[in-house]
Amino acid sequence: METDGLFRPRSIPRPVHRVVRQRIWVRRDEVLDAVESYEGARRTFYSYTYKGQRGGAWVPSVRWDNWEGQDHVDRYDETGGLKDRTPWRDRPLPDVLKLVKMFRRNLLTMDLAGL
């Protein structure tokens, strides 16, 4: 049955909300934390956060996400404070993992929007 998107017939159940959380260890003190949220088969949210360990805590360096529906990449300073934000074209986790493994901490000084 087709709908115009304005209503949802009662016979169609709401898609189940599923979150997949992954921690990918790149090195002993560097991880890429991924959170992806799905409604049915549709990915509605993603965040991929590259973190380093400082003083026993995981501090974010770079984060790709679509928070509030906007694809963007954030960079953080050494205390974890937001430094800058640039638009970003949505790419899958394996692509982001390749970037992290290839450039690691150099990502902090690169033009991320162009990657």
Partner 1 sequence: MRVEIARDVGAADVGREVEGLKARHKSFEALRQRVFVERCNEPDAEDDYVVWRALREEGGALEERTVFETPDVFRALTPRRVDLLEALRGGEVPSIKELAAKLRRDYKNTYDDLTALQSWGLVDLRREGKNQRPIALVTSLHVSWEK
Total residues contacting partner 1 by CB under 8 A comes to 28
Site string for partner 1, 29-48 (x = CB under 8 A): ----x-x-x-------x-x-
Give the contacts of 75 (CB within 8 A, at least 6 positions apart): 61, 62, 82, 83, 84, 85, 107, 108, 112
Q: Which of residues 59-98 bind partner 1 (CB under 8 A)?
A: 60, 63, 65, 67, 74, 80, 82, 97
**Residue selected from 6, 12, 16, 41 as contacting partner 1 according to rule CB under 8 A:** 16
Q: What whole-number distance in Å separates Cα of residue 105 and Cα of residue 84?
A: 16
Angle in degrees, CA 37, 9, 36, rounded to 5: 5
Please, what sign has the CA dihedral across residues 95, 104, 60, 112? negative
Q: Is 52 helix (H, G, I), strand (E, B) or coil?
A: strand
Our finding on whether 54 is near partner 1 (CB under 8 A) is no
Q: How far is the CB of 4 from partner 1 (least distance, A)?
A: 25
Q: Could you list the residues that contact partner 1 (CB under 8 A)?
A: 16-28, 33, 35, 37, 45, 47, 49, 60, 63, 65, 67, 74, 80, 82, 97, 101
